[in-house]
Structures are given as C-alpha cells and as structure tokens.
Amino acid sequence: MAVTLNRNDGTVNFVFEGRMDTIKCMSAEKDVVENINENDQVVFDLKEVDYIASSFLRLCGRASNTVGVENFSVINVSPSVKKVFKIAGLANRLNIK
Amino acid sequence: MKRIKKKATFENLEEVLQFVKVGAKAFGFDKAAIADLILAVEEVLVNIISYAYTDQCKSGYMEVRYKNNNSSYSITFLDTGKKFDPTAVSEPDTSIPINQRRMGGMGIHIVRNIVDNLQYKREGGKNIFTIEKKK
C-alpha cells in the first residue's frame, strides 16, 4: 500500500508519508477507495507529508464525497501543504487541522 | 539555456523534475520557492503526459527548457500533442462546495497562483508553454 491504514470503530485513519506527488497519489487512490465506505469517518494524517500535488486534492474530494464532508478530516497539515489547499479554495471547505 | 527531452511518460516525470530542480537551485531560489516551482512543473508535465497524446495512437515527447536572467527563471514546455492552451483554461470556481466540484482541473489553477507569468503559443505543430517565476 502507498499509505498506512488504521481502522478503529468506524474511523479509518490513513497516514501518508513524504511527497504526495501525482504518481504516489495514483497509487494511494486505489488504497483509499477500496478501504472506505459511506458510513466511515475518514482521517488523512499528513504529519509526515511536505508536498502535495493537485492529485492529492482529488483524493480528498473522492474520500469526502464518499463519506460526506462532515465525516472527513485532514490533520497535521504543514503550512506548505495548507497553501495548496488554500489555492484550491478548500482550506475552509474541508475540516483541515 | 538547458534542455531535456524525454518520452512523455510517468516513468520519466521524476527525472525531468530533478532537471528543473537543479536549475532552480543554481538560480538561487530558496527551498520554499523551489518546492512551489516543482509543483507547478509537475502539474504541467502531468497534463502533457495524461492528455497531450491521447488522440494519437503513438506516444510523444515532452521537452523542458529553462533559462534565467538576473531576476527571473523561466521554464518552457514543448510537446507535439494536440493543441492545448493552458492560458485559456477558465478559472475554476473555488467557492463551490467540494461535493459539487468536478474532480481534477486544479493543476493549471495552481500553476497560475504559483508563477508570475504564463505564455503560450502553437508553432510548428508544437505546444510551447512558458512559465516564469521571479526571485
């Protein structure tokens, strides 16, 4: 898997590492899509991520659309990564911490 | 001016990004500016790899050239794929909630927000797209 996944009581925590560039996101997308369903709470943990491409935004969109925006959050976001969410107009539309 | 020309595949993406990164470092950009520039370059190259040659049975090439003057660093992308003018792409409506948005299409928007100038021309059957970032 391109990401580490922890599932606990309906919460699925995906821990990403390093550069989430296009190629890595393509690989991670399959892992995310196959491991969540509409009743889950989904958390993307970016503690170890210092770079995201626009494909990561698409990944967030897919997860958010599956479980609902209120059940999706992105945590441990660095300033450089948050900048990309801001450019996309998503910094205030997703639960980003 | 320095240049690299590779088959437009995801396998070659990292090599081209490293080529640009070396140039950006030599130009004197700081770490944050280099990261921004690499993001912009990745978005442009992914568009070329993903869409430039989809109407053709054969694969094509992506060429990247960079040059700098005292105050700015410019990168030119060339491909022989179907005509595509990134400067003509409409700005996405970023006020729309995420669940109503078309997924994708953010790449050029990100590029626009990172670099200082964009230029496009179609010449000799090539898309020639230049981005410029100032110090």
Task: Quote the domain boundaries for residue A89.
Answer: 4-96
Is residue A71 less than 8 Å (CB to CB) from chain B? Answer: no
Is residue B21 less than 8 Å (CB to CB) from chain A? Answer: no
Nearest to residue B86, comparing CAs of B94, B76, B95, B96? B76
* Alpha carbon B55 to its chain's center: 20
Chain A neighbours among B 76-95 (CB < 8 Å)?
92, 94-95
What is the signed CA dihedral for A97, B17, B120, B125, rounded to 10 degrees?
Answer: -140
- CA B23 – CA B67 distance, rounded (Å): 8
pLDDT at A88 over 80: yes
What CATH number belongs to B2-134? 3.30.565.10
For chain B, give the percent of residues with pLDDT over 90: 79
Domain with A83 in it: what CATH number?
Answer: 3.30.750.24
Nearest to residue A45, comparing CAs of A75, A25, A17, A21? A75
- Are the Cβ atoms of A22 and B104 closer than 8 angstroms? no
What does the pLDDT look like over B35-59, one tens digit per residue? 999 999 999 999 999 999 987 656 7
Residue of A nearest to B103 (CA): A58
- Are the Cβ atoms of B46 and A60 closer than 8 angstroms? no
Nearest to residue B104, comparing CAs of A53, A20, A33? A53
Domain ranges of chain B: 2-134
- CA B128 – CA B56 distance, rounded (Å): 19
Q: Considering its fold, how many domains does chain A have in total?
A: 1
What does the pLDDT look like over B54-105, one tens digit per residue? 876 567 999 999 998 889 999 999 999 999 999 999 888 888 877 777 766 7
What ipTM score was computed for the predicted complex, to two decimals? 0.91
